[in-house]
Amino acid sequence: MLVMIRRHPLAEQAAEELLRRIGSGEWALGAKLPGETTLAAQLGVGRSTIREAVRELAGRRVLESRQGAGVFVIALQAAEDWDKVLRKADITDVLEGRLAIETEGARLAASRRTPADLKNFRYTLADRQRAAVKAPDDWYIEADLAFHRAVVTAAHNAVLTELFDTFVPRIRRAMIDMLKLDEEHRHRHDQAAHEAIADAIRAKDPDLAAARSREHLSAVRSSIR
């Protein structure tokens, strides 16, 4: 223990160790961990270090401590951090996930869109048009994402909207990289494809909206390779 290279604070290492033991089945769901003093002695660290480790796992909703009673396991593993999953994932995998969400979103939007949704389309499309002509990259990216979000929002499905928002940071980074390699700004010229998606939703044609959404996003995916 004393010899090991310390890249992380002791408290973090202790948290990882506890998480490992929980995952290995040493303590079942709902089980009570040994007392702080016992754990401190076991891991060879001070009591306050153990407390911080437990606090960290409490923040990750794995442990729960009750004064006077003890520390208890409330989850066998840390909830998947989606931002981390997406960061590590291959960009084509992410784009295929986005395609699944947006295609279905466009399909549902075609039957559920309200007048407010259509107004939102007009606004975000006009904004995207302006940004495509003269705005710097980051402005354009935000305008583009705003329209795509408007489509998903029009599906009036909280899960799909939340999924889209989860994907946004990763998509944004990918677009930044993509635009850097795209000196001709070819990507900005597909305003027509966006208008077409909005038109299909406006016309209440689910299959067409889904098809056009799929077509557009497939093109984006292809342009990556």
Binding a copy of itself (rule: CB under 8 A), the pick from 21, 26, 29, 162 is 162
Choose from a copy of itself, DNA, none: what does 46 bind? Cβ within 5-8 Å by kind: DNA
One DSSP character per residue, the chain reads --SS--SS-HHHHHHHHHHHHHHTTSS-TTPBPPPHHHHHHHHTS-HHHHHHHHHHHHHTTSEEEETTTEEEE--SSPPP-HHHHHHHS-HHHHHHHHHHHHHHHHHHHHHH--HHHHHHHHHHHHHHHHHHHH--HHHHHHHHHHHHHHHHHTT--HHHHHHHHHHHHHHHHHHHHHHHT-TT-GGGGTHHHHHHHHHHHHTT-HHHHHHHHHHHHHHHHHHH-
The least distance separating DNA from the CB of residue 83, rounded to whole angstroms, comes to: 21
Residue closer to DNA, measured from CB, 65 or 129? 65
Binding a copy of itself (rule: CB under 8 A), the pick from 16, 17, 70, 82 is 82
Cα angle 203-206-212, degrees, rounded to a multiple of 5: 85
Choose from DNA, a copy of itself, none: what does 166 bind? Cβ within 5-8 Å by kind: a copy of itself
Binding a copy of itself (rule: CB under 8 A), the pick from 2, 28, 158, 181 is 158
Interface positions with DNA (CB under 7 A): 6, 9-11, 33-38, 40, 44-49, 51-52, 54, 65-71
Binding a copy of itself (rule: CB under 8 A), the pick from 108, 150, 175, 196 is 108
Residue closer to DNA, measured from CB, 48 or 92? 48
* 85 interacts with a copy of itself by CB under 8 A: yes
* 23 interacts with a copy of itself by CB under 8 A: no
Interface with a copy of itself by CB under 8 A: which residues? 9, 11, 15, 48, 51-52, 55-61, 67, 79-83, 85-86, 89-90, 93-94, 96-97, 99-101, 103-105, 108, 155, 157-160, 162-163, 166
